[in-house]
């Protein structure tokens, strides 16, 4: 299993990258929508001007008042186009030259906006509106070239992406530092566990973050239980040793009785075994006395020159 720091770092990096990608897409979509809304409002304003300039007569074909038409519609392939449909008749802006726009049929009072290809293949935003003038249905389509807008939008996306990437890198470095600082209490606890193993302390500090405090308390309770069990075992060993000293003394006295002396080999064997048992008991009693209140992981015993101040003396009881 990877370290907790690596898991947190990976999770946060993935989250930040996904968040910035989502933000980049949302901001781009919002700006595109706002830009197109502005272009559509301008196209509809031009549509109203064209409708006002449209001349319909019973005796003449439909025409437009040239004084009321923006000159931009008169320049060939200027990027601003209109197309008017009155039944079978059509009027097109000079900017279209000999090209025609593919426009849908729209009922009077309705409006629609769509993207289409221009006379030179450029992207167009097309606003189509339906009207009724002098009892005749009129469809007016006004379009604008979005090439310049798309180029500006792409530049904005690249610039915004670079700025976002720089901010993302700064945030990743900052969050890595924050994770290291946030995990400092765990590092202190790890060092305390090593000190506990060496016998320098007898319990862990419980002044730790609330997330790991229950674990530290359980470890301290376990240490206390182990110490109590060890102390009971030593007490029991000492009690057994003391209890056996009396019978052992009697055995040694029995070895000096006359009936035992008559068998020197038996007397020698009895004394040797009794002395061995006595030696073992004395050794265990000394070990129990020397151990005192040694904590788990701690060793005690004499050191040449005495123990250093503030530290328990250490030795190996084995």
Q: What is the pLDDT of residues 21-55, one digit of tens each?
A: 999 999 999 999 999 999 999 999 999 999 999 99
Task: Mark which of 152, 167, 186 sits at the end of a domain.
Answer: 152
Buried b (16+ CB within 10 A) or exposed e, 48-78: ebbeeebeeeeeeebebeeeebeeebeeeeb
- For the chain, give the mean pLDDT: 82
Q: Are 145 and 241 in the same domain?
A: no
Number of domains in the chain: 2
Q: Are 148 and 218 in the same domain?
A: no
Q: Are 217 and 89 in the same domain?
A: no
Q: Are 232 and 97 in the same domain?
A: no
Q: Are 126 and 34 in the same domain?
A: yes
Instruction: Of 158, 116, 144, 122, give the one whose Cα is nearest residue 38.
Output: 144
How many Cβ atoms are within 10 Å of 293's Cβ, its own excluded? 12
Task: Mark which of 133, 152, 171 sits at the end of a domain.
Answer: 152
Q: What is the model's pLDDT at position 218?
A: 87
Q: Are 52 and 128 in the same domain?
A: yes
In a domain, 301, yes or no: no
The rounded distance, in Å, linking the Cα atoms of 174 and 16 is 12
The rounded distance, in Å, linking the Cα atoms of 275 and 255 is 11
Tokens representing 50?
Answer: 């064209």
307 pLDDT more than 70 = no
Q: What is the model's pLDDT at position 48?
A: 93
Residue 290: which pLDDT band, with cuts at 50, 70 and 90? low
Burial of 34 (0-12, 13-18, 19+ CB in 10 A): exposed
pLDDT tens-place string over residues 215-254: 888 888 888 888 888 888 877 777 777 777 777 777 777 7
In a domain, 76, yes or no: yes
In a domain, 296, yes or no: no
pLDDT tens-place string over residues 77-114: 899 999 999 888 889 999 998 888 888 888 999 999 99
263 pLDDT more than 60 = yes
The rounded distance, in Å, linking the Cα atoms of 157 and 153 is 6
pTM higher than 0.85: no
Q: Are 26 and 127 in the same domain?
A: yes
Q: What is the model's pLDDT at position 18?
A: 93
Q: Are 127 and 11 in the same domain?
A: yes
Q: What is the model's pLDDT at position 316?
A: 36
137 pLDDT more than 60 = yes
Burial of 141 (0-12, 13-18, 19+ CB in 10 A): buried
- Structural domain boundaries, residue 212: 203-291
Q: Are 118 and 19 in the same domain?
A: yes
The whole-number average pLDDT for the span 280-295 is 66
Q: Are 111 and 40 in the same domain?
A: yes
In a domain, 15, yes or no: yes
Domain of 239, CATH number, reads 1.10.287
Residue 151, CA distances (Å) to 25, 35, 118, 306 in order? 17, 13, 16, 84
In a domain, 186, yes or no: no
Q: What is the model's pLDDT at position 51?
A: 92
In a domain, 234, yes or no: yes
pLDDT tens-place string over residues 182-214: 878 878 888 888 888 887 888 888 877 777 788
Q: Are 139 and 44 in the same domain?
A: yes
Q: Are 121 and 216 in the same domain?
A: no
Task: Mark which of 88, 118, 152 sits at the end of a domain.
Answer: 152
């Amino acid at each position: 299993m990877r370290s907790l720091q690596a898991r947190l770092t990976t999770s946060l990096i993935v989250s930040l990258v996904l968040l910035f990608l989502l933000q980049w897409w949302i901001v781009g979509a919002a700006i595109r929508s706002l830009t197109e809304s502005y272009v559509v409002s301008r196209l509809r304003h031009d549509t109203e001007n064209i409708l006002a300039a449209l001349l319909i007569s019973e005796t003449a074909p439909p025409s437009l008042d040239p004084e009321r038409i923006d000159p931009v519609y008169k320049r060939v392939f200027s990027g601003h186009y209109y197309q008017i449909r009155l039944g079978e008749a059509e009027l097109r802006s000079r900017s279209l030259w000999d090209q025609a726009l593919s426009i849908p049929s729209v009922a009077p009072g309705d409006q629609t906006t769509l993207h289409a290809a221009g006379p030179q293949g450029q992207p167009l935003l097309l606003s189509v509106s339906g009207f009724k003038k002098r009892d005749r249905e009129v469809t007016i389509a006004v379009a604008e070239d979005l090439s310049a807008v798309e180029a500006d939008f792409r530049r904005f996306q690249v610039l915004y992406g670079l700025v976002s990437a720089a901010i993302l890198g700064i945030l990743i470095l900052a969050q890595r530092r924050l994770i290291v600082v946030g995990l400092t209490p765990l590092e202190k606890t790890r060092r305390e566990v090593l000190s506990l193993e060496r016998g320098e302390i007898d319990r862990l500090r419980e002044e730790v973050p609330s997330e790991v405090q229950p674990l530290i308390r359980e470890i301290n309770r376990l240490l206390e239980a182990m110490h109590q069990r060890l102390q009971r075992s030593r007490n029991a060993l000492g009690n057994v040793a003391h209890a056996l000293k009396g019978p052992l003394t009697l055995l040694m006295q029995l070895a000096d009785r006359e009936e035992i002396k008559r068998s020197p080999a038996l007397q020698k064997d009895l004394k040797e075994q009794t002395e061995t048992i006595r030696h073992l008991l004395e050794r265990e009693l000394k070990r129990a006395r020397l151990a005192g209140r040694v904590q788990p992981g701690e060793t005690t015993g004499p050191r040449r020159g005495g123990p250093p101040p503030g530290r328990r003396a250490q030795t190996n009881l084995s």
